[in-house]
Chains A and B, each alone.
Chain A
């Protein structure tokens, strides 16, 4: 029963706050002998498992450490290429730690902006006008809840079809507000109330702080503290939600 993380996206789509509250670290460390029965391949800046799932090592897991020393992207701690190192029988037996890689802050920024755009598209695809946008995204391992405020300084304009000569194509302007996004365990209840509570905490500790500029990254201690408290309260309430 856990809340994994909280993201706050500003009206322009930029990430202004992020908190990783609970990360289910499923690291597995094992000793291997040559030849390695897992198939590894490079992906982005990491070496990931492509095939050969076993014993807790899943496809998609990245190489986190070799012989106790953390790898640096595709290079080992001493600067050698990981795949080369693991291809050399002289280096075996070797102990490798696999696990899901943590998102870097750049990746989080990009993903938050992408979500913002998807949210806008979602509101426009709605067959009814005045859609609230994406409120929940459900997967088998987590649920993403999103709450958008009514306020907003900018308007996202999107032309739904290219201009036909003479006719006026329909365009929809979507008022963008601040979005509070919470990723939680699928069984966790009371996230709606939690989102409202986060909005209250934002208005109390971020907006009322005279030194906080709107739309900028939130760096307020009080906001952090109160947010963590609110998350703990919501988690303790468990699958029945608060107040039961």
Chain B
């Protein structure tokens, strides 16, 4: 059934490419769909994995890589912290099952983020546990980079600033 998922995902991206001319539109659409999935997937993840609440950003990033990715995609990306402030992490995927049947992006779709759905899913899931984050692809094997790298930047919570006064 993994194959069916990969094929379905491929068909989805292909259809979106037909529907939208610009790559950015396709990317946005994938991200939004991923977000809608993420806000529901987080409860499924918490219900089935029974993990405890994470106390730090690095714990959260580790959780995503080692438990969530394993559970849903069967791969375990490696995590590295890429900022001194401790709020930027990258997940490096050696193997990305979603691109099993894709060799490379077509020439006219050079800036398409094929797996942008994943970014949306992570963003949506984090938002539901009150962690605002920006998730993007830093490197993409489909675009010629060596590995696929997803960057997660945890944003400062907006509420803290609102209550500064009185």
B109 at the interface (CB under 8 A from A): no
Residues of A within 8 A of B166 (CB): 163, 168-169
In chain A, positions 194-208 with a C-beta closer than 8 Å to chain B are 196, 199-200, 202-204, 207-208
Which of A168, A196, A207 has the most chain B CB atoms closer than 10 A to its own CB?
Answer: A207
Q: Is the CB of A196 within 8 A of B50?
A: yes
Q: How far is the CB of B45 from chain A (nearest CB, A)?
A: 8
A105 at the interface (CB under 8 A from B): no
A151 at the interface (CB under 8 A from B): yes
Residues of A within 8 A of B128 (CB): 151-153
Interface residue tally for chain A (C-beta within 8 Å): 23
B53 at the interface (CB under 8 A from A): yes
Measured CA separation A178–B46 after assembly (Å): 12
A229 at the interface (CB under 8 A from B): no
Q: Is the CB of A200 within 8 A of B47?
A: yes
Q: Is the CB of A155 within 8 A of B130?
A: yes
Residues of A within 8 A of B47 (CB): 196, 199-200, 202-204
Q: Is the CB of B42 within 8 A of A151?
A: yes
Q: Is the CB of B163 within 8 A of A150?
A: no
Measured CA separation A127–B7 after assembly (Å): 53
CB closest chain-A residue, reference B127: A153
Residues of B within 8 A of A151 (CB): 42-43, 46, 128-129
Chain B interface secondary structure, helix, strand, loop or mixed? helix
Measured CA separation A181–B141 after assembly (Å): 47
B48 at the interface (CB under 8 A from A): yes
In chain B, positions 139-166 with a C-beta closer than 8 Å to chain A are 159, 163, 166
Measured CA separation A153–B130 after assembly (Å): 7
Q: Is the CB of A214 within 8 A of B46?
A: no
Interface residue tally for chain B (C-beta within 8 Å): 17
Residues of A within 8 A of B44 (CB): 203-204, 207-208
Known: A196-B50, A200-B48. A175 touches B43 (CB 8 A): no
Residues of A within 8 A of B159 (CB): 155, 173
Count CB-based A-B contacts (< 8 Å): 49
Query: Pick the contact of B43 from A130, A163, A169, A199 — CB < 8 Å?
Result: A199
B39 at the interface (CB under 8 A from A): yes
Cβ proximity bits B70-101 to A, threshold 8 Å, 1 near / 0 not: 00000000000000000000000000000000
B22 at the interface (CB under 8 A from A): no
Residues of A within 8 A of B39 (CB): 214
B40 at the interface (CB under 8 A from A): yes
In chain A, positions 201-221 with a C-beta closer than 8 Å to chain B are 202-204, 207-208, 214
**Sample of 18 more A-B contacts, CB < 8 Å, known A151-B128, A151-B129:** A149-B46, A150-B129, A151-B43, A163-B166, A171-B163, A173-B159, A175-B130, A199-B46, A200-B47, A203-B43, A203-B44, A203-B46, A203-B47, A203-B48, A204-B47, A207-B44, A214-B39, A214-B40
| 10 interchain pairs, CB-CB under 8 A | A130-B53, A151-B42, A155-B130, A169-B166, A199-B47, A200-B48, A203-B43, A203-B47, A207-B40, A207-B44
Lowest 3 CB-CB distances: which A-B pairs, in order?
A203-B44, A207-B40, A151-B128
Instruction: Give the interface of A toward B (CB within 8 A).
Output: 130, 149-153, 155, 163, 168-169, 171, 173, 175, 178, 196, 199-200, 202-204, 207-208, 214
Instruction: Give the interface of B toward A (CB within 8 A).
Output: 39-40, 42-44, 46-48, 50, 53, 127-130, 159, 163, 166
